[in-house]
Structure 1
Amino acid sequence: MTDMAVDNAAMRQAAGTGLHMTEAATRRLKARYAAERRFKMIGLGAIIFSLAALAVLLFTILSNGFTAFRQGHVQLEIEFTADQIAPPGTTDQRKLMQGNYGGLILASLQKRFPEAQSRTQRRQLQGMISAGAEAQLGRLVVADPAIIGTTRKVWLPLASDVDMFVKGQVDTKAAEGERKIKDAQVKWIDALKATGDLELQFNKRFFTAADSREPELVGVWGGVVGSFYTLLVTLIVAFPLGIMAAIYLEEFAPKNRWTEIIEVNINNLAAVPSIVYGLLGLAVFIGFFGMPRSAPMIGGLVLALMSLPVIIIAARAALRAVPPSIRQAALGLGASPLQAVLHHVLPLAMPGILTGTIIAMAHALGETAPLLMIGMVAFIVDIPTTPVDAATVLPVQIFMWADSAERGFVEKTSAAIIVLLVFLLLMNLAAILLRKRFERRW
Structure 2
Amino acid sequence: MPRTLCGRLDHASPAPPRGRPMAQNTTEIVRAGLARRYAQERRFRACGLGAILMALVMLMTLFVTIFSEGFSAFWTTEMELEVTLYPQDIDPQGTRDFQAISNANYRKLITQAMGDLFPDVTGRQEKRELMAMISEGATYRVREMVLDSPTLIGDRITMRIPVSADIDMLAKGRIKTDVQESNRRVSDNQIAWFERLKSRGLIHSAFNSTLFSAADSRQPELAGIWGALVGSFYTLVVTLTLSFPIGVAAAVYLEEYAPRNWFTDLIEVNINNLAAVPSIVFGLLGLAVYINMFGLPRSAPLVGGLVLTLMTLPIIIIASRAALKSVPPSIREAALGVGASKMQMIIHHVLPLAMPGMLTGTIIGMAHALGETAPLLMIGMVAFVADVPTSPLTPSTVLPVQIFLWADSPERAFVERTSAAIIVLLGFLILMNAGAVILRKKFEKKW
Residue 378 of structure 1 aligns to a residue in which SS? coil
- How far apart, in 1, do the equivalents of 2:96 and 2:246 lie? 54
Rg: which structure is higher? 2
- Tell me how far 1:20 sits from its aligned partner: 5.2
Aligned residue number for residue 279 of structure 2: 274
Structure 2 counterpart of 1:45, from 34, 41, 50: 50
Matched, 1:152 2:152: no
Kept in 2: contact 1:311–1:357 (CA 8 A): yes
Question: What is the number of residues matched between the two proteins?
Answer: 425
Gaps of 5+ in 2: 1-22
Matched, 1:68 2:78: no
Matched, 1:245 2:255: no
Kept in 2: contact 1:394–1:420 (CA 8 A): yes
Aligned residue number for residue 368 of structure 2: 363
TM-score by length of 2: 0.93
- Tell me how far 1:385 sits from its aligned partner: 1.3
* Structure 1 residues 277-311: Cα deviation after superposition (integer angstroms, max 9, x where no partner): 00000000001100000000000010011000000
Residue 437 of structure 1 aligns to a residue in which SS? helix
Structure 2 counterpart of 1:405, from 400, 404, 410: 410
Q: Which amino acid aligns with 2:330?
A: S
Matched, 1:348 2:382: no
Aligned residue number for residue 134 of structure 2: 129
Aligned residue number for residue 228 of structure 1: 233
Matched, 1:187 2:169: no
Q: Which amino acid aligns with 2:346?
A: V
- Tell me how far 1:80 sits from its aligned partner: 1.1
Report 1:64-103 matches (<5 A): 64-103=69-108
Gaps of 5+ in 1: 1-17
- Tell me how far 1:101 sits from its aligned partner: 1.6
- How far apart, in 2, do the equivalents of 1:398 and 1:176 lie? 30
* Structure 1 residues 362-382: Cα deviation after superposition (integer angstroms, max 9, x where no partner): 000000000000000111111
- How far apart, in 2, do the equivalents of 1:95 and 1:135 lie? 15
- Tell me how far 1:112 sits from its aligned partner: 0.8
- Tell me how far 1:93 sits from its aligned partner: 3.5
Matched, 1:324 2:333: no
Residue 129 of structure 2 aligns to a residue in which SS? helix
- How far apart, in 1, do the equivalents of 2:243 and 2:341 lie? 27
Matched, 1:36 2:41: yes
Q: How much is the aligned-residue C-alpha RMSD, in angstroms? A: 1.3
Kept in 2: contact 1:106–1:125 (CA 8 A): no
Aligned residue number for residue 379 of structure 1: 384
* Structure 1 residues 136-155: Cα deviation after superposition (integer angstroms, max 9, x where no partner): 21122221222222111111
Kept in 2: contact 1:90–1:96 (CA 8 A): no
TM-aligned CA distance change 1:164 to 1:93, over 3 Å = same
* Structure 1 residues 165-199: Cα deviation after superposition (integer angstroms, max 9, x where no partner): 00111110001222121222122212222222111
Matched, 1:174 2:175: no
Structure 2 counterpart of 1:337, from 339, 342, 348: 342
Residue 343 of structure 1 aligns to a residue in which SS? helix
The share of aligned pairs that are identical, in percent, is 56
Kept in 1: contact 2:87–2:94 (CA 8 A): no
TM-score by length of 1: 0.94
Q: Which amino acid aligns with 2:38?
A: Y
- How far apart, in 1, do the equivalents of 2:333 and 2:50 lie? 49
- Tell me how far 1:24 sits from its aligned partner: 4.4
- Tell me how far 1:83 sits from its aligned partner: 2.6
- How far apart, in 2, do the equivalents of 1:20 and 1:269 lie? 59
